[in-house]
Amino acid sequence: MSSSKKVITREEWEKKLADVKIRKEDMNKLVMNFLVTEGYVEAAEKFQMESGTQPDIDLGTITDRMAVRKAVQCGNVEDAIEKVNDLNPEILDTNPQLFFHLQQQRLIELIRSGNVEEALQFAQEELAPRGEENHAFLEELERTVALLAFEDTASCPVGELLDVSQRQKTASELNAAILTSQSHEKDPKLPSLLKMLIWAQNQLDEKASYPRINDLVNATLEDPVT
Amino acid sequence: MGGDQVVSPVQPPGGGRNLYDLYDWRRPEPKTDEEEVPTHLNTTTCGHFLVISTDKLSARYTGEGRHGHDVGAIQANRPAPQQKLLYYFEIFLKDRGQRGVISIGFTDENFKMSRQPGWEPNSYGYHGDDGKLYHGQGKADNFGPTFTTGDTVGAGINYASQELFFTKNGKLVGPVMKEGKGPLYPTIGLHSPGEKVEVNFGQKPFIFDIEALVQEERERRQRSVESVSLPLSISHSVVRTYLLHYGYQDTLAAFDVASGGAFPPVVVTSSEGSTVGDSESYALEQRKILRKLTREGDIDGVFSKLREWYPELLQSGVSLISFLLHCQKYIELVKAGSLEAAVNYARVELASFFGVSSFEDTHLQDCLALLAYEHPEKSMVSYLLHVAQREAVADAVNAVILATNPPNLGKPSQSALEMLLRQLTACLMERRYLNGNQGEIFSLQRVLQGGKDGGCEPCLAQVVVYFVASSSQPLSVSTIVLHCHVGGSATFSSACAHPRDKVGICFMITSWAKLG
C-alpha cells in the first residue's frame, strides 16, 4: 500500500499553498482572540489601535478577569472569590465543583501559612458539609487535610498540593469559568488550529507523500519523503 | 512580455508570491453557492409501477410484484450533498402492502429503477421484509430488524468515516462501509401491491436525532485533534513573530512586558544559525512608523519617509507600491470630500497607470468609480473607504520593506502564522480530494466565526443550515424559528440564552434576506 502512496512534489505543493486564500483580517482576529483569551489586556488594546481589529470581548472585563486570576496565583483566594462574585455571582452559584476547588485552595493556603487551628476549623465548617454531598469532594478534602500530618511537606505524598502548579490549576479553572460566563470560549483558537495542522498532516501522511512542516516556529517546508 | 509582468521591486524574489496576492484579499469575494440538496422525489426517471403524490414526497406501488424486474424504485431529485459531514433522510411506512418488501438506501446515477436498491452495482438497500442489508449485486448480510407499517426508517452517509448508516424508529441500526466514491442518490424501492411510503428530506423534523450523531462525530474528531501535543509555548512564539512581521511594534512591546518571565524567551535557531528575531525585527521601527502613517491616512507622510529611507522602492515610476500609495492618496481625498482635488490628483498621478496590467486597471476602475456615487459608502466599491483598506496598503508597504532585507531575499514574505494556516488548509483540502471530494470543506472563517463554546457549535450551525437547505419552501424558515426557540427579530441578541441560538439566528437572517 505504502508504495502506491501519491507523491506530491515541492513545486506542486507550493502551487497549492499559493492558491489558498488567507485573509489578513482573519489572522488579525486569531491574534486578537489569543491576546484576549490569554489575558494580555494591554497588548490587546495596542493591537486594536495598531491593526484596527475589534476584540471579541469588552477589554474591561479582561482586567477584572486577570485580577481574579492573579489573586488566586498569589494565594489570596478569599479576595478572588469576592472579586468573582462582584463580577457575576452566578459563576460560583452554578458551579459547585469550582467553588469547592476554590475553598480547597483556601484550605491549602491556610495550611501553607502554618495556621493549623484555623485550617482545621475551616475544613470542618466549610468543606466537610460539601464533602458529604459529593464523594469526590470528600476524597479531595481528605487528601488536602493529610497535609497537616506532615511537618516536612517535601516528603509528603500529597505535597504537590502545595506546589505553585496547584494554584495555576485552580486559577485556570476559575479563568475558564469566567470566560464561559461571558459567552466567550475558554481556550484561544490558535493552539487548536496548530493542533489541527499537526493532525491534518498526520492524516494526509496516510494517503500521500508531500512537503510537511515539522518546525512550526519557522514554518519551513520539508522535502517530501519518496 | 505579457502585460501583467511585474516590475521588479514589487515582487519579493523567489517567493512565488507578490503584492497582488497580498492585496487581493480586500476585494469582496463572490459568495459561494450553497450546495443543493435533495428536496423531493424525481418523478421523471422513476419506475413504472409507482404513483407519486403531487408534493412528490410520497409513493404508492401499483404493480403486481411478480418478478425481480418490476420493482418500483425512485430516487431523490438530487444526489446527497457531498460537502457536509453527514447526510440523512427518512421514510415513513404508511402501508406495508401485501408483502412489505420495502427498501431504503442509496444508489448511483446508473441505477435501474425496476430493481431494488442493493441489487445493482454501487447501490445499497436496507430491506423491510428480511431486515437484511443488500449491496452491490445482491449480496445480502444480516443487518437489523425488519420494518413494517407505522415504522420510520432512515438512511444516511457519514463522509468522515466513509460509511453508510441506517436507523429504525429513531434508533441507529448500524453502519456499513461505503465502497464507491461518486455521488449517491437517496432511493426507495417498493415491490408489493398496496405499499405506500412518505419521504422526509428534512422538510419536517426527523425521528432520529441526527444532530446528536453529528455532534458525536465532531467530538470524536475534536478529541483526536486535542490529543495532539504542541511544542511548549508555540502559540506564543507564533503570535510574537506575527507582530514582528507586520511591524505591530507597540503591541509587541506590551506583549513582551506582560509575558516576561511567564514564558522563556523564544530563542529559535534557524538552519543558518540566525535567530528568528534577527530577520523578523528587520527595520521594525521604520515599518511601525510607516504603518502608523498609512493607518492615519497620511499618505504624503508615507511617501516622504519612503523617499528618505527606501528611495529605490519608488524609483520606478510605475512600481506597484507607488501605484497603491497614489490610489490611497486619491481615496483619502475622496473620503475628505475634496472631490475636485481628487479628480486633479487622479489626472496627474493615476492616469499613467492605466494599461500597466489588469490588476492596475481593475483597481483604478474601482477607485474612479467612487466619483460616480453620491453616497460612495453605500456603493459596490465602498470597501475602498473602509479602514481595512488602509491596513491592506500598510501591509503592502510592510512587505516591500521586508523584501529589501538581504537575508530575506529568496524567502517568501509571509509570517509563520500565514504559512501554517496555508499548510493547514492545503492539507485538509488535499485529504478531502483524496477522499473523492467528499466531506466538509475547511473554512478558517467558519472556525473564527463559530464556536464561542469550542468545536461543537459549528455543527449546530450545520444542522440548521441543513434544515433550511433541504427544502426550497420558505416554510422551512419558520421551522428554524421554532427550532431555535427564538422570538422577535429585534430582541434576538439579548434573547439568545445559548450561543447555539445565535448561530441559528445568523443563518435565519441570511435566509430571510434570500427569500425576500
Which single residue is written with the C-alpha cell 402492502? B97
pLDDT at residue B233, as a whole number: 81
In a domain, B149, yes or no: yes
Domain shared by B104 and B19, yes or no: no
| Average pLDDT value for residue range B156-162 | 92
In a domain, B383, yes or no: yes
Domain shared by B164 and B307, yes or no: no
Residues of chain B in contact with residue A42, where contact means CB-CB under 8 angstroms, are 254, 257-258
Instruction: With CB atoms and an 8 Å threshold, state whether A23 touches B25.
Output: yes
pLDDT at residue B272, as a whole number: 40
3-state SS assignment for residue B213 = helix
Q: Which of B25-39, B203-217, B471-485 has the lowest mean pLDDT?
A: B471-485
Give phi and psi for B430, each to the nearest 5.
-65, -40
Give the HSE-up count for residue B337: Cα atoms under 13 Å, Cβ half-sphere. Answer: 0
Give phi and psi for B187, each to the nearest 5.
-140, 145
- DSSP state, residue A126: I
Average pLDDT taken over every residue of chain B? 78
Q: Summarize pLDDT for B70-99 with one digit per residue, the tens.
A: 999 999 999 999 999 999 999 999 999 999
Selected residues 203-222 of chain A with any CB under 8 Å from a CB in chain B = 203-204, 207-208, 210, 213, 216-221
Which single residue is written with the C-alpha cell 490549576? A169
CA angle B201, B203, B208 (to 5 degrees): 65
In a domain, B232, yes or no: no
| Average pLDDT value for residue range B38-49 | 89
pLDDT at residue B505, as a whole number: 33
Is the distance from CB of B81 to CB of B33 less than 8 angstroms? no
> Burial code of B73-111, b = ≥16 C-beta within 10 A, e = fewer?
bbbbbbbbbbebbbbbbbbbbbbbbeebbbbbbbbbeeb
Domain shared by B11 and B78, yes or no: no
Residue that wins the pLDDT comparison between B315 and B513: B315
Domain shared by B85 and B139, yes or no: yes
- DSSP state, residue A127: I
Interatomic CA distance for residues A24 and B27, integer angstroms? 12
pLDDT at A156 over 80: no
Q: Summarize pLDDT for A21-68 with one digit per residue, the tens.
A: 898 989 999 999 999 998 889 999 999 999 989 998 888 888 899 899
Instruction: With CB atoms and an 8 Å threshold, state whether A191 touches B234.
Output: yes
pLDDT band at B218; cut points 50, 70, 90: very high
In a domain, B270, yes or no: no
Residue that wins the pLDDT comparison between B47 and B272: B47
Domain shared by B57 and B23, yes or no: no
Interatomic CA distance for residues B313 and A99, integer angstroms? 61
Q: Summarize pLDDT for B411-426 with one digit per residue, the tens.
A: 557 899 999 999 999 9
Q: Tell me the longest C-alpha to C-alpha distance in chain A.
A: 72
For residue B151, give the CATH number of its domain: 2.60.120.920
Concatenated DSSP letters for B375-402? SGGGSTTGGGGSHHHHHHHHHHHHHHHH
Torsion of CA B227, B228, B229, B231, to 10 degrees: -160
C-alpha pair distances (Å), B78 with each of B201, B204, B415, B429: 11, 18, 43, 24
Is the distance from CB of A5 to CB of A209 less than 8 angstroms? yes
pLDDT band at B169; cut points 50, 70, 90: very high
Interface test with A, best of B275, B424, B442, B505 (most A CBs within 10 A): B424
Number of domains, chain B = 3
Interface test with B, best of A19, A50, A218 (most B CBs within 10 A): A50
| Average pLDDT value for residue range A140-152 | 84
Query: What angle separates helix A59-73 from helix A41-51, to the nearest 10 degrees?
Result: 160
Domain shared by B299 and B398, yes or no: yes
In a domain, B372, yes or no: yes
Domain shared by B60 and B186, yes or no: yes
pLDDT at residue A200, as a whole number: 96
Domain shared by B55 and B185, yes or no: yes
Residue finishing a domain among B390, B410, B430: B410
Residue that wins the pLDDT comparison between A155 and A158: A158
Average pLDDT taken over every residue of chain A? 89
In a domain, B178, yes or no: yes
Three cell numbers at B354? Answer: 492605466
pLDDT band at B118; cut points 50, 70, 90: very high
Selected residues 158-197 of chain A with any CB under 8 Å from a CB in chain B = 180, 183-197
pLDDT at B290 over 90: yes
Which single residue is written with the C-alpha cell 427564538? B486
Residue finishing a domain among B361, B391, B410: B410
Which ipTM value was assigned to this complex?
0.81
Is the distance from CB of B40 to CB of B203 less than 8 angstroms? no
What's the one-letter identity of residue B227? S
Q: Which residues contact B138 (CB under 8 A, 6 or more apart)?
A: B118, B119
Residues of chain B in contact with residue A183, where contact means CB-CB under 8 angstroms, are 452-453, 499
Among A27, A186, A196, whose Cβ lies nearest the Cβ of B417? A27
Selected residues 28-87 of chain A with any CB under 8 Å from a CB in chain B = 29-31, 33-35, 40, 42-43, 45-47, 49-52
**Alpha-carbon Rg of chain B, whole angstroms?**
30
Is the distance from CB of B17 to CB of A19 less than 8 angstroms? no
Domain shared by B80 and B199, yes or no: yes
pLDDT at B1 over 80: no
C-alpha pair distances (Å), B477 with each of A61, A113, B56: 36, 62, 20
Give phi and psi for B322, each to the nearest 5.
-65, -35
Interface test with B, best of A5, A59, A180, A195 (most B CBs within 10 A): A195
Q: Which of A99-108, A176-185, B13-22, B300-309 has the lowest mean pLDDT?
A: B13-22
In a domain, B415, yes or no: no
Is the distance from CB of A194 to CB of A81 less than 8 angstroms? no
| Average pLDDT value for residue range B277-297 | 85
pLDDT at residue A101, as a whole number: 94
Domain shared by B376 and B472, yes or no: no
How many percent of chain B have pLDDT more than 70? 75
pLDDT at residue B13, as a whole number: 32
3-state SS assignment for residue A5 = coil
pLDDT at residue B351, as a whole number: 86
| Average pLDDT value for residue range A79-84 | 94
Chain B residue closest to A8 (CA)? B430
Residues of chain A in contact with residue B11, where contact means CB-CB under 8 angstroms, are none
Q: Which of B81-85, B153-157, B437-441, B496-500 has the lowest mean pLDDT?
A: B496-500
Domain shared by B390 and B491, yes or no: no
Is the distance from CB of B477 to CB of B508 less than 8 angstroms? yes
pLDDT at residue B34, as a whole number: 76
Interatomic CA distance for residues B457 and A185, integer angstroms? 11
Three cell numbers at B47? Answer: 419506475
Q: Which residues contact B204 (CB under 8 A, 6 or more apart)?
A: B479
Give the HSE-up count for residue B381: Cα atoms under 13 Å, Cβ half-sphere. Answer: 18
Helix or strand run (H / E) with residue A60: helix A59-73
Is the distance from CB of A77 to CB of A92 less than 8 angstroms? no
Three cell numbers at B133? Answer: 442489508
Three cell numbers at A145? Answer: 487535610
In a domain, B206, yes or no: yes
pLDDT at A147 over 90: no
How many percent of chain B have pLDDT more than 90? 49
Q: Which domain holds residue B504?
A: 450-515
Instruction: With CB atoms and an 8 Å threshold, state whether A51 touches B248.
Output: yes
pLDDT at A3 over 90: no
**Alpha-carbon Rg of chain A, whole angstroms?**
24
Q: Which of A180-189, B204-213, B214-223 has the lowest mean pLDDT?
A: A180-189
What's the one-letter identity of residue A130? R
3-state SS assignment for residue A175 = helix
Domain shared by B140 and B17, yes or no: no
